Structure 1
Amino acid sequence: MKLYSTLSYTFIVLIINSSIAFSAEPESCQQALQKGDVAQALSTAKSTLAVNAKDVDTLLCQGRAFTASQDFNSALDAFKLAQLNASDSTQKTIAVLLIGNAQLSLKQPDLAIASFQQALEHAKTSNSATYVRASHLALGNAYFNQQQFEPALAQYQALNKLDANDNERGESFEKIALTHHKMGQHDAALEFQIKAFMMHEKSGTLDQYAHSSIELGRYYGQAKQYIRAENTLNKIIKFAKEQGGAYYEAKGSCVLGIVKAAEGEKEAAKALVEYAKSIAKSTQDKSLEEEINQETQGLL
């Protein structure tokens, strides 16, 4: 759930970075923030706002710098001032999207959803497909994190209609598949994960390809198509081992263990899970070890 919130914020920031004309001055807030110098970004933002307290780009930058320093209340205040002083629908959309993300960080999901809905309306007013898509993504993730899967699915389906390339289609199909999975709709989950896999196999990164392969194997297993599940998972385990991808080798082995358990092959399942855990321990990946433990709790 935390990952989906992070992805929404990262996607929004990428859009902002591509749409704002950053100052060429080395001491500008935006330049400092891009370099990762949060203290300098806050300092220059304060100086700029002392001269012009209504500078929207600087207020947005200040809010993002506060976000980077985990000061979400101050970030929210900055984003609200940016919204108040925004001169057009695009600036309002950006401000309200960032307000929503700050509210999520402050554990105010209902307020965040209302903000994302407001951002969607602003984006439609400005006729910006990019920001309409960002708003649907933020709404979908917010609903998903609240386990409101039906409205999340509607948002991801709307997102999918705006996809402009195979990468975006792969990501949207995967979100739709996961939501169907959470709703217990295994055939639909498999249908969309196959689509996601095809997009990532053609145009995705190695990480996207590996992740989509593992989830495809998982959904084949849940649809009781065990031979396809095993073939898919064995293929990605072999690929990960050859590429030095210990994380995906472990994840693939873990999911294959789950499939074997569903087939009644308890000893094979136990061996695969133990192998996955051994990889996590040897790579000192505590997060991966925790994932494996959570996935296999009560399995054997």
Structure 2
Amino acid sequence: MKLQITLILLSISLFLNNVYAENIEIDKCNQAATQRKDALICQGRALAAKDDLNGALTVFKEAAAQSANPFDKTIATLLIGNTYKMLKQYELAITSYQQSILNAKAAKNVAFERIGYNAIGSVYAEKKQLASALEAYMQASKLAANDNERGESYENIALTHHNMNQHDLALEYQIKAYLMHSSVGTLDQYAHSSIELGRYYALTKNYVSAEKTLNKIIKFAKEQGGAYYEAQASYVLAKVKVAAGDIPTAKNLIAHAKLIAKNTNDYALDEEINQETQDLF
């Protein structure tokens, strides 16, 4: 059962981010699945991968109707919500996620209750209804089962407070996220949480802590070969240097970040640097 939940969590995570590591062929779904509902979910993912979201929605709804137990219904209604979100039919997405939470409760599956609340939070965040997003993320955080999940929840809460211009609260929760990720997180999670912590320190004018945090992650990224995070931390540190009046160092940091983007052919990173620093001087 733990393996089943792990695999489904991975599948949902991929779907939420619209990432498909494999080219799913619709006509092979029936061969791969032993149950009708599983074949339908496979077909829905295949249709979504081909950007046929309306077709995917129809199939996922049929999968929900074919599901015989609360856990299967949880998966189907979550996928329906994801598809509505991708279609930007936000109210229908929220309704589906709420149903998914009810199904998860009936299945006594706290992990998927948490996923449902995070999904609702992401919809509200996308709609800029930040108070509602915060409420959903807070509900999700109460259901976190381990420090990794708590770290993810704290980052969601921190970012929402940041977007609400509540920078002291953003810093409070980002410190919690950093502590979680520094002990149990992946290298990516640790690097990201460190950069966000440096950013929030700067926004609360705690420049000494910001510089210390960012220099630490720049050193770590160099040692670990994390060029993206080195560049990102460098341009955030440049903002701190500007606030401190050290314009030459700030310009050097931005030039270094842009050189990393050029050397790694990361055009998205280069654009990110340009957007984040265009009004800096």
| TM value normalised by structure 2 | 0.89
Q: Work out which of the residue numbers 43, 60, 64 in structure 1 matches 2:27.
A: 43
Q: Provide Cα deviations, 1:207-254, integer angstroms capped at 9, x if missing partner.
A: 111111111100000011000000110111111112221101100001
TM-aligned CA deviation for residue 48 of structure 1: 8.6
Between the aligned partners of 1:35 and 1:283, the Cα distance in structure 2 is 22
TM-aligned CA deviation for residue 74 of structure 1: 1.3
Could you say which residue in structure 2 is the equivalent of 1:227?
208
Q: Work out which of the residue numbers 64, 68, 83 in structure 2 matches 1:102.
A: 83
TM-aligned CA deviation for residue 13 of structure 1: 6.9
TM-aligned CA deviation for residue 265 of structure 1: 2.8
Between the aligned partners of 2:126 and 2:242, the Cα distance in structure 1 is 29
Could you say which residue in structure 1 is the equivalent of 2:184?
203
Alignment pair present for 1:15 and 2:9: yes
Between the aligned partners of 1:237 and 1:171, the Cα distance in structure 2 is 22
SS of 1:38's equivalent in the other structure is coil
Contact 1:16 1:94 (8 Å CA) reproduced: no
TM-aligned CA deviation for residue 138 of structure 1: 0.8
Q: Provide Cα deviations, 1:192-218, integer angstroms capped at 9, x if missing partner.
A: 111111111101111111111111100
Contact 1:100 1:115 (8 Å CA) reproduced: yes
Contact 1:237 1:248 (8 Å CA) reproduced: yes
TM-aligned CA deviation for residue 289 of structure 1: 0.7
Equivalences, count: 270
Q: Structure 2 vs 1, CA of residues 110 and 264 (structure 1 numbering), >3 Å: closer, same or farther?
A: farther
Alignment pair present for 1:149 and 2:135: no
Q: Structure 2 vs 1, CA of residues 114 and 12 (structure 1 numbering), >3 Å: closer, same or farther?
A: farther
Give 1:86-235 correspondences, 5 Å limit: 86-235=67-216
Give 1:24-43 correspondences, 5 Å limit: 36-39=22-25, 42-43=26-27
Runs of 4+ in 1 over 4 A off after TM superposition: 46-49
Contact 1:38 1:69 (8 Å CA) reproduced: no
* Counterpart AA for 2:150: R
Q: Which runs of 5+ in 2 are unaligned?
A: 13-19
| TM value normalised by structure 1 | 0.84
Could you say which residue in structure 2 is the equivalent of 1:24?
none
Could you say which residue in structure 2 is the equivalent of 1:250?
231
TM-aligned CA deviation for residue 161 of structure 1: 0.9
TM-aligned CA deviation for residue 262 of structure 1: 2.5
Contact 2:24 2:45 (8 Å CA) reproduced: no
* Counterpart AA for 1:45: C
- Greater RCO, CA 8 A, separation 6+: 1
TM-aligned CA deviation for residue 107 of structure 1: 2.2
Between the aligned partners of 1:252 and 1:48, the Cα distance in structure 2 is 45
Could you say which residue in structure 1 is the equivalent of 2:15?
none
* Counterpart AA for 1:127: K
TM-aligned CA deviation for residue 46 of structure 1: 5.4
Q: Which runs of 5+ in 1 are unaligned?
A: 1-10, 19-33
TM-aligned CA deviation for residue 37 of structure 1: 4.2
Could you say which residue in structure 1 is the equivalent of 2:272?
291
Q: Percent identity?
A: 52
* Counterpart AA for 1:58: A
TM-aligned CA deviation for residue 287 of structure 1: 0.9
